Amino acid sequence: MTTTSKVRASGLPGAPPLPKRHKGGGTWAAWYLVAPALLLLAAVIGYPLVKAIYLSLFSDTIGGTSEFIGLGNYRTALTGDGAGDFWSALRVTGLFTFFSVALEVAIGLAMALVMHRAFRGRGLVRASVLVPWAIPTAVTSVLWRWMLQPEGIVNHLTGGSTLWTGSQWPSRAAIVIADTWKTSPFLALLILAGLQLIPDELYEAARVDGAGAWRRFRSVTLPLLMPSLMVAVLFRLLDALRIYDLPQLLTGGANGTTTLSMLVVQSSIQQTKFGYGSALSTLTFLIIFGVALVFIRFMGTSLLPADDEEGRTA
């Protein structure tokens, strides 16, 4: 106990009084502060979600009255006539998510490490790296569709004659390449913010102890960067699971490139199956929510600073 604390606790004359704690006052103030955000989330997210779940319980009768069918639309999507399209879209979405996120994390980490170094023109490099991320997705899709033509610049540089959007695996690879090119700067920006929080004194101490570059990266950079890295992966993971615009504009869902979000739009808007489309959107939401929950559950310790983690375990 410090000297000031001892004086206050002893009740000596002239000692400042201890502040009084109001029970419940802080809790109500916190609710008042977050109430506007909660109301906004309820209006923007809560109502559409509840409405989609409600519509998914009714049949699709064009020009007539919809009938309550319970979980009929869900059975159709999971085990019925639409099961083939649903599970295929789920596999494609998972494939895109795995490869694109893995490549983006590796490239984004490398870019962040380069941008974190002190060199002349670092500000210009940081600004230029963010250009792909700033370009609208529609422009990115048209740009890459032009470059991936049989006579495009990609085949010219590689010396091949691949028809990138003409068959299954080249089409999928084209989407992963375009998505990685566009989104890697976003992860680099988030990782760079985490790198700037690491004190330089730790690197100096590691150098004094004789640690090389790889040892410093493995023992200093990576452990302290893990919270920022995991947050970046979580954001990108949730975004990749609902990918729609890039494959829609690049391939139109042809050659086995239809994702879950594309299937939802095709069913609810193009085929006017609002009940079935609502069931697909609800299933997509549950899948994304489940992935986020599992990620936070098993990687949650990496999302917290060391002090918070010790306090929670205590």
- pLDDT single digits (tens) 234-250: 989 999 999 998 999 99
Q: Are 259 and 92 in contact (CB under 8 A)?
A: yes
Q: Which of 243, 244, 239 is nearest to 292 (CA)?
A: 239
Residue 310 included in any domain: no
How would residue 25 be classed by pLDDT, with cut points 50, 70 and 90? low
Does the pLDDT at position 116 exceed 70?
yes
Residue 38 included in any domain: no
How would residue 300 be classed by pLDDT, with cut points 50, 70 and 90? low
Exposed/middle/buried for residue 107 (C-beta within 10 Å: 0-12, 13-18, 19+): middle
Residue 246 included in any domain: yes
Residue 67 included in any domain: no
Query: Which of the pair, 87 or 150, is modelled with greater confidence?
Result: 87
Task: Report how far Cα 203 is from the mean position of its chain's Cα atoms.
Answer: 30
Residue 224 included in any domain: yes
Total structural domains within the chain: 1
Tokens at residue 294, please? Answer: 């599992």
pLDDT at 184: 92
Residue 128 included in any domain: yes
pLDDT at 86: 93
pLDDT at 94: 93
pLDDT at 10: 46
Which CATH number characterizes residue 101's domain?
1.10.3720.10
Residue 188 included in any domain: yes
Q: What ranges in the chain are assigned the alpha helix state H?
A: 3-10, 25-41, 47-55, 72-78, 83-116, 122-129, 131-134, 137-147, 153-158, 168-195, 200-208, 213-216, 222-241, 245-250, 260-265, 274-299, 306-313
What range defines the domain where residue 211 resides? 97-258
Lowest mean pLDDT among 22-26, 42-46, 110-114, 250-254: 22-26
Q: Are 197 and 184 in contact (CB under 8 A)?
A: no
Residue 268 included in any domain: no
